[in-house]
Structure 1
């Protein structure tokens, strides 16, 4: 009886240790909570965005591939360089005020699965300084919603680092 049980145990061990099948689904993302899926678009010279009466102070970027339902869009405006020559990116929406504390104008955006629309909102868009209307450069970042909820969205460098995106992965966009 012991020999039969030992024989079944050995056969069972061999049978189950050599089983192979299709690979299962991937495990949870890395410790930082994100697996590196994201896209960054940037308009570069000579494809600057201009907010004028001709475009109703609004510009649109059409995504080359429609977003998926769980994606969100973050938009950043190039705001010059710091003392070290590194680019400074301002998260949208951003609002500017008159000296008396009343709102002058805001740069805002809306997005769909197919495009992002960036626009100036204010009492008199024609009086908004040219530094905010003409020759504007934007970075448009597409990431999953659960990732966007867990990262400092006000800092583009933090977003790109957390998303494991390098400068070489920024896709240059054309108007």
Structure 2
């Protein structure tokens, strides 16, 4: 009787051992979406301390990465977006002026800093256009070494941003 029980146990072990489970690993996050907000006609003048508050249409997560781009030029080849902070220098290498930003879950504040901002041409202060790109932390951490963040178009492509869904303010 012991031999028969041992035989059944051995056959059972062989049978169970042949069963395999194929796990499918899904590394793509389907519910995390990068987005873009565009702000037009932004004036950075002495009356507002050369700063502007760009209110987000909704609250973002505190872990999200925020990039701010300024429309620096446009033409037949397309728009030229520059990642902030952005700095301009005099010919002797000293700081002339620059753009900077900080952000919270609710807004981004862009500012103009430098010497003689009152004498700076209006093309750098009035009717500025900014794009705020929000990248969820999960996506930013995975791709941070593979994307040239200075290139707006590369960011849009890398994070599958649908510009037709851009929120304009």
| Structure number with larger C-alpha Rg | 2
* 2:51 paired residue number: 58
Name the SS for the 2:124 alignment partner: helix
- Select the residue among 87, 110, 119 that pairs with 1:118: 110
Q: What is the RMSD of the two structures over their aligned residues, measured on CA atoms? A: 3.0
Instruction: Output the CA distance in 1 between the equivalents of 2:71 and 2:165.
Output: 17
Q: TM-score, normalised by structure 2?
A: 0.77
* 2:28 paired residue number: 29
- Aligned ranges 1:1-175 → 2 under 5 Å: 27-29=26-28, 37-44=33-40, 48-84=41-77, 86-143=78-135, 144=137, 145-146=140-141, 149-150=144-145, 151-173=147-169
Q: CA shift at 1:61, angstroms?
A: 1.0
| Runs (4+) off by over 2 Å | 147-150
Q: Which runs of 5+ in 1 are unaligned?
A: 17-25
> CA 1:147 to 1:58, structure 2 compared with 1: closer, same or farther past 3 Å?
farther
Aligned length: 153
> CA 1:36 to 1:69, structure 2 compared with 1: closer, same or farther past 3 Å?
closer
